[in-house]
Amino acid sequence: MAFAPSPIPSRTQYVLEAIKHDILTGGLSPGQALVETELAARFGVSKTPVREALKTLAGTGLVVMSQYKGATVRMVDADMAREVYDVRLLLEPEALRRSITRGASLEAARAALVSADAAADQAERSLANREFHRALYVPCGNPLLARMLDEVRDQAALVSTVAWAADPSWHREADEHREILRLAEAGDTDAAVAALYDHIASFVLRAFPLNDEENQA
């Protein structure tokens, strides 16, 4: 008999969400040390919920745990960004194709667009953008495919945070989201899939352009 995982205690969840918010708003920079005692004092908790929160964030790829350096915010470089977005390019367009073919409801994607437009800060916008993409792939009919994409969601959001700090291009991405949804709701499967692929590929290329050596390879 399979058992469901235990829910995260409320204090740990509170600390986890607060740290994630700081990472996704740039309040905690890539490479910055996450000292348990400092975080525990800041949030008014013991070190245990902080430690558990950091372990969870390490599992999602936002934090790196090292025996010698402790916990740090994950660094974002071109290789990391391209690895994450390569996975998305391989899986996400196919998941959208299946969602459209199944005639799945995309109301959650439309709601996410509204939330992104009304976002009060970068973290809220990032979370809404992730919910938009998730609403496209979750109804694909293959739970394993959806879980695989879920596993890179936080890492993709971290890439976006770093990229937006250099080039606040979320208005462009929002327009692309609206066009993807329009095509998907119209049942134009091939065009919607192509638009999603171009959206993902163009973002990482704008944020981390290939250098001359890579272009010649």
Q: Are residues 43 and 84 in the same domain?
A: no
Out of 47, 73, 99, pick the residue that ends a domain.
73
> Token pair 């969840």 is at which residue?
13
Do the domain assignments include residue 132?
yes
The share of the chain scoring above pLDDT 90, in percent, equals 58
Instruction: Give the closest residue to 183 by CA, choosing from 109, 127, 116, 89.
Output: 109
Average pLDDT, stretch 69-98? 93
Instruction: Give pLDDT, residue 91.
Output: 97
First to last CA, the chain: 52
Q: Are residues 64 and 82 in the same domain?
A: no
Q: Are residues 131 and 207 in the same domain?
A: yes
Do the domain assignments include residue 62?
yes
Window from 59-63, 161-165, 211-215 with minimum mean pLDDT: 211-215
Q: Which residues constitute the domain of residue 38?
A: 10-73
Q: From CA 24, how far away is CA 32, in angstroms rounded?
A: 13
Q: Are residues 185 and 95 in the same domain?
A: yes
Instruction: Give pLDDT, residue 29.
Output: 87
Out of 30, 47, 73, pick the residue that ends a domain.
73
Give the domain CATH number at 171. Answer: 1.20.120.530
Q: Are residues 85 and 53 in the same domain?
A: no
Q: Are residues 89 and 64 in the same domain?
A: no
The C-alpha angle 136, 140, 145, rounded to 5 degrees, equals 100
Higher pLDDT residue, 107 or 11?
Answer: 107
Do the domain assignments include residue 216?
no
Q: From CA 163, how far away is CA 155, in angstroms rounded?
A: 12
Give the domain CATH number at 54. Answer: 1.10.10.10
Instruction: Give pLDDT, residue 4.
Output: 43
Dihedral sign from CA coordinates of 63, 3, 131, 89: positive
Do the domain assignments include residue 136?
yes
Out of 34, 49, 73, pick the residue that ends a domain.
73
Q: Are residues 100 and 202 in the same domain?
A: yes
Instruction: Give pLDDT, residue 9.
Output: 63
Do the domain assignments include residue 217?
no
**pLDDT tens per residue across span 27-44:** 888 899 999 999 999 999
Q: Are residues 54 and 89 in the same domain?
A: no
Average pLDDT, stretch 128-153? 94
pTM above 0.75, yes or no: yes
> What is the total count of domains within the chain?
2
Q: Are residues 65 and 118 in the same domain?
A: no
